[in-house]
Each structure stands twice: as structure tokens, then as C-alpha cells.
Chains A and B, each alone.
Chain A
């Protein structure tokens, strides 16, 4: 087990796309263990993606289970994850281990359907909402070389929540 070095902006490698994982072996499991240790070593991150430590494979970890009143699927290791459906949108404030000392508002889908594989290559499927869905979208962006700063909307941009009228 080891704590890996986190790439931070303006490192150009963070803009690189990651390749799918094809071999599900002990080396993959060892790497994921290191990735998790690295996530826990930092400032309360609810997720981490492999390219943040310079490994350009489609691997992310998401865990929002430590947060109060937050629907979640526990500690998730997602290999080759893919969002297959999006619904709704909301603004939320995000920060990133790779962008120290900056937070910004980002628009994300509020509901997603997600496909992925586990450490053994078995297919997984999830329906997610809210904070967990946001965390997954944030981490999956890393796999395509995108950071939340690529999506930040003006601090003055705000969307007024529409009132829902009962009919």
C-alpha cells in the first residue's frame, strides 16, 4: 500500500483521456488499494479517479456514505464506468484534489443511470441521484481529461429553483 502523488493543475496530463481496463488481475487490485489510500489521505474527498495519480485507465472510486442524509450505494470501485442516462440538472459547488484552494459552481445531472465493472470484471448497474450522482459525474470527467474548472459557471450565475405546483 502506498499514498500516490496527486497531479495538480496546470499539469497537462490531467487533460489526457484514459484507456479502458482490459485485465482484471492482482495488479489492478493493488492499484485500487493505493488509490483508495491516497483518497483517504487527502482532504475529505468523496471520490478519486486514476488519472489524478497519473494512471490513465478508466478507474474511479466514489464513496459518499460518510455524509449525513445522503442516498448512496456505499463504497464504490467503478471500472470502465459509463453513464447511460441523465435526467434533471442542478448547480452545486465543487472542489478537487487536483485543483487546490479553489471551488466553483458546476451544473450536473441530478439523476443518472450508470454501468460499470467491478474488480473482477463483473457488470454493475446503478441508479443514482443527488450528491452521489454529482460525485460520479465529477470523477468520470477525469477519465475524459476534464476537470470541474472546465465546467464552472459564473459565480453570479444562479438558477432559481422552479416551484412545483400541485395540480
Chain B
């Protein structure tokens, strides 16, 4: 059973970050597992599971020169579990509406009360500076029926927020 760690790197976006970081990890003897790397605002964010290599302290030290050169902040901690722990979503919730503070808290609060387990949430702010539009897509697992989740979220429609709940149909072929 490999010993996995969760490595997080965040810094101002520029081309070449992924290549430099993953090369350094490889040279340090690390193996990569599941990863999420994406630009958020003007930052590039990387969260990746790494195993192997030498001790954790050594890994941080090995990455420090590159991190300083590229202006990345590093965070490393042990990751419980490992690979092959996928949970499958059965519901997808899509929300969009005029951007306002508290929208995500409202939506996810209602979902949490339904016992909805968020497996993935991504959001974006579209529109323009005067009229920002918040767009969010959530995938997760809920034992309650789609009708129950839909009814619980319906109150948000009164605020002019568009909410759509759909089932995620998994096809195995």
C-alpha cells in the first residue's frame, strides 16, 4: 500500500508550471495519483496525490527551488485512503442567477439538509462587472428522491435563481 500525500501548489498563473512541477516530482521518485489542476482567477491551482519519493520533509525541500522561482506556495500533508475510492454521483444540481453573497451557502445548506453528499462543485462568475452572473454545477450523491431535492430547492426560484436538478445516469457498457 503506497503512502499517499496531498500536495497543493498555488501561484500566479503562467505557462509551464505543470511541466516543471511534475518533472521535479518525477526526479524525486514520486508517483502521481488523482489530480485537479485549474486556473482560478489569475492563479493556477494544483492539488495532487503523490506517493513514493523520500520523506515528506525532503519532498518539500526538493520542490522549494522551483516553487520560489515560479512563485508557488506549497502545502503537503498525508492523504488518507488512496486510489480506487471513487464514489459515484447520482444527482446533478445546476444553479445560475444574479451573483449575490450567500448563494452557495443557501444552495448547499438546503442540499446538506437533504443528506446530499457533494462530490464535486465547480462555479464560475460570468456576465460583466455591472451584472455578474453566478453559475454553479454540483454533482453528488443523495438517497432521497430527485423530487424531494427539487422541492427543497424550489424556494430559491422565488429569488430569481434558476435551479435545475437532474439525475446522473451511469451507463456501463
Which of A's residues lie within 8 Å of B, judged by CB? 42-49, 62, 92-97, 101-103, 131, 134-135, 138-139, 148, 155-156, 158, 160-161
A-B contact pairs, 25 of them (CB 8 A): A42-B172, A43-B172, A45-B173, A46-B171, A46-B172, A46-B173, A47-B173, A92-B169, A93-B88, A93-B89, A93-B168, A93-B170, A93-B171, A94-B170, A95-B173, A97-B173, A101-B84, A101-B86, A103-B170, A135-B173, A139-B173, A156-B38, A160-B94, A160-B96, A161-B166
Secondary structure type dominating chain A contacts: mixed
B168 CB to closest chain A CB (Å) equals 5
**CB < 8 Å neighbour of A138 from B84, B94, B120, B173:** B173
**CB < 8 Å neighbour of A103 from B88, B120, B137:** B88
Name which residue of chain A comes closest to B164, CB basis.
A161
A99 CB to closest chain B CB (Å) equals 10
Q: Are B170 and A131 in contact (CB under 8 A)?
A: no
Q: Are B173 and A96 in contact (CB under 8 A)?
A: yes
B34 CB to closest chain A CB (Å) equals 11
Q: Which 3 A-B pairs have the closest CB atoms?
A: A47-B173, A138-B173, A95-B172
14 additional A-B residue pairs with CB within 8 Å, beyond A94-B170, A95-B170, A138-B173: A44-B172, A46-B172, A93-B168, A93-B169, A93-B170, A94-B172, A95-B171, A96-B172, A101-B84, A103-B86, A103-B88, A135-B173, A155-B120, A160-B94
B123 CB to closest chain A CB (Å) equals 10
Binary contact track B111-142/A, C-beta < 8 Å → 1, others 0 = 00000000010100000000000000100000
CA distance A97 to B166 in the complex (A): 25
CA distance A158 to B168 in the complex (A): 13
Which of B's residues lie within 8 Å of A, judged by CB? 38, 84, 86, 88-89, 94, 96, 120, 122, 137, 164, 166, 168-173
Name which residue of chain A comes closest to B85, CB basis.
A101
**CB-defined contacts of B94 to chain A, threshold 8 Å:** 158, 160
**CB-defined contacts of B122 to chain A, threshold 8 Å:** 156
Name which residue of chain B comes closest to A52, CB basis.
B173
A152 CB to closest chain B CB (Å) equals 13
CA distance A160 to B133 in the complex (A): 14
Name which residue of chain A comes closest to B88, CB basis.
A103
A139 CB to closest chain B CB (Å) equals 6
CA distance A130 to B88 in the complex (A): 20
B160 CB to closest chain A CB (Å) equals 15
**CB-defined contacts of A139 to chain B, threshold 8 Å:** 173
CA distance A161 to B86 in the complex (A): 27
Residue with the highest number of chain A CB atoms closer than 10 Å, among B84, B96, B137, B169: B169
CA distance A94 to B173 in the complex (A): 8
A61 CB to closest chain B CB (Å) equals 10
**CB < 8 Å neighbour of B137 from A42, A49, A134, A158:** A158
